[in-house]
Amino acid sequence: MSETHINLTPELIRAALTTVKYPGFSRDIVSFGLVKNIEVNDGGAVVVDLIVESKNADVPRYIYENVMGVVKELPGVKKLDVNIEHHAPKSKKASANDDPADWKSSVPGVKHVIAVASGKGGVGKSTVSANLAVALSKLGYRTGLLDLDIYGPSMALMFGTKERPGCSEKEQFLPVEVHGIKLLSMGLMVDEAAPVAVRGPLATRYVQQFLRDVDWGGLDFLVLDMPPGTGDIQLTIVQTVDLAGAVIVTTPQEVALIDARKAVGLFQRVNTPILGIIENMSYFVCPSDGLVYNIFGEGGGEREAQKLGVPLLGRIPLDIRTRTCGDEGHPVALEDPGQSMVAAAFEGVASMLSSVLGE
Ligand SMILES: Nc1ncnc2c1ncn2[C@@H]1O[C@H](COP(=O)(O)OP(=O)(O)OP(=O)(O)O)[C@@H](O)[C@H]1O
Ligand SMILES: [Mg+2]
């Protein structure tokens, strides 16, 4: 162990732990969500608490040895305790959910899964998700959209459909096809008037089922419309799916940016890349005099993107047609970008995002 103890922080240790792979996987233990707690005191004593759920006793042993090996090499570490809480799954059935190897998987048949998140409610995640999906499909990509806001699903309304999803021979949901998009939403499963009164653990199960048991039939992009907030459901999502990354929606306002940072933190904790920021309701062009009004402030999205070192994928104006098109089941991005400023803005976001992902 080295003698100096400069800059020994939990963040530094967490970063070092990203080099420890879950046995048999290319993903690391941080992105699997196994690191529960890291403590460092001034004297260089470090405590790392991990939780491992696996039926294989070699897994915690391997992780212990590798964590010890990596952390004790860090400058300033004088004492190291690695505590592993190891749970063997209780039954065969439970093991399918409890082994981290099963938690996080790519969605079968989907090339890039993108989460659209914000932290703050009402900033336009669903509007952006719907229009981004449409814009990606207009660029020629096979695109799906999954509404994960099971308490307040909005995609049935935004796409003007009440069609029930089908069921495949393998007993998987079959998404509904509308405006060139494959769509699945809780709003298509329940009657409009019926409140989705499910409690936390059940809500988490629904979300997991939506992420796993859908036959998307081959997609380039699957856009996930995330529910507002950074709680259990959001955590389940980031732990369940191997995301290509997250797109953060914010308005230029400081209150929205504060919550956007919380969403960024959630994704960073599990090593999910932030693909970029979309600033929604950026400005308003007055139809009568053509003057531009920065109703929610100016430049917030750009500054945040710079701070994070990620691209600002686009600025979407505040626009009446965006709202009315959403309410009428015809996303504004379906319009001709030559005629609609907003459709052009979404086209720009879609092409920038596809190039960020190397398409
Ligand atoms: N650029 C825009 N111009 C005009 N209206 C917009 C714009 N973006 C969103 N809206 C409107 O703002 C309202 C909130 O948008 P939306 O439902 O997309 O937000 P959200 O972040 O998904 O909300 P929630 O947190 O409740 O899921 C909707 O009525 C929508 O039509
Ligand atoms: Mg929403």
Distance from residue 113's CA to the centre of ligand 1 (Å): 22
Given the CA of residue 326, which atom of ligand 1 is nearest to it?
A: 31
Query: Is 52 among the domain residues?
Result: yes
Tokens 């009440």 sit at which residue?
162
- Between these two residues, 232 and 142, which has the higher pLDDT value? 142
pLDDT digits (tens, 9 = 90+) for 284-301: 998 899 889 988 888 899
Distance from residue 349's CA to the centre of ligand 2 (Å): 19
Query: Is 301 among the domain residues?
Result: yes
Q: Are residues 283 and 171 in the same domain?
A: yes
Cβ neighbors of 312 (< 8 A, separation 6 or more) are 276, 277, 278, 279, 301, 302, 305
From 116, 123, 127, 157, give the residue whose CB has the most ligand 1 atoms within 8 Å, as the site to mutate.
127
From 116, 321, 323, 328, give the residue whose CB has the most ligand 1 atoms within 8 Å, as the site to mutate.
323
Q: Which ligand minimizes its atom distance to the CA of 326?
A: 1
Q: Are residues 210 and 255 in the same domain?
A: yes
Final residue of a domain: which of 68, 101, 134? 101
Predicted local distance difference test score (pLDDT) of residue 95: 36
- Between these two residues, 181 and 169, which has the higher pLDDT value? 181
Q: Cα–Cα distances in Å, from 120 out to 47, 262, 269, 322, 331?
A: 33, 9, 18, 20, 22
Given the CA of residue 327, which atom of ligand 1 is nearest to it?
A: 31
Rounded CA gap, 72 and 75, in Å?
8
Question: CATH number, domain at 88?
Answer: 3.30.300.130
Total number of domains in the chain = 2
Distance from residue 178's CA to the centre of ligand 1 (Å): 20
Predicted local distance difference test score (pLDDT) of residue 195: 54
Query: Is 318 among the domain residues?
Result: yes
pLDDT digits (tens, 9 = 90+) for 257-284: 998 999 998 888 887 889 999 999 999 9
Distance from residue 258's CA to the centre of ligand 1 (Å): 18
Predicted local distance difference test score (pLDDT) of residue 184: 94
**β-strand partners of 166:** 174
Specify the range with the lowest mean pLDDT, choosing from 18-27, 152-161, 168-177. Answer: 18-27
Predicted local distance difference test score (pLDDT) of residue 215: 92
- Between these two residues, 347 and 103, which has the higher pLDDT value? 347
Predicted local distance difference test score (pLDDT) of residue 99: 46
Predicted local distance difference test score (pLDDT) of residue 28: 78
Final residue of a domain: which of 57, 84, 101? 101
Return residues with CB closer than 5 A to ligand 2 (ion).
125-126, 149
Q: Are residues 183 and 80 in the same domain?
A: no
Distance from residue 336's CA to the centre of ligand 2 (Å): 25
pLDDT above 50 for 171: yes
Domain of residue 162 covers 110-356
- Between these two residues, 164 and 90, which has the higher pLDDT value? 164
pLDDT digits (tens, 9 = 90+) for 324-339: 998 999 999 999 999 9
**β-strand partners of 250:** 279
Predicted local distance difference test score (pLDDT) of residue 322: 93
Q: Which residues line ligand 1 (CB under 6 A)?
A: 118, 121-127, 149, 152, 154, 228, 280-281, 316, 318-319, 322-323, 326
Predicted local distance difference test score (pLDDT) of residue 239: 83
Specify the range with the lowest mean pLDDT, choosing from 5-14, 272-281, 308-317, 321-330. Answer: 5-14
Predicted local distance difference test score (pLDDT) of residue 105: 59
Tell me the helix, strand and coil percentages in the chain, rounded to 5: 35, 25, 40
pLDDT digits (tens, 9 = 90+) for 234-251: 888 888 888 999 999 999
Q: Give mean pLDDT, residues 28-39.
A: 84
Query: Is 2 among the domain residues?
Result: no
Among residues 319, 349, 329, which one has the least CA distance to residue 179? 329
Distance from residue 359's CA to the centre of ligand 1 (Å): 28
Distance from residue 116's CA to the centre of ligand 2 (Å): 10
Query: Is 145 among the domain residues?
Result: yes
Q: Enter the pTM of the model.
A: 0.74
Predicted local distance difference test score (pLDDT) of residue 279: 95
Q: Which residue, by CA, sits nearest to atom 29 of ligand 1?
A: 323
Tokens 């967490």 sit at which residue?
14
Query: Is 1 among the domain residues?
Result: no
pLDDT above 50 for 159: yes
Q: Give mean pLDDT, residues 212-217.
A: 90
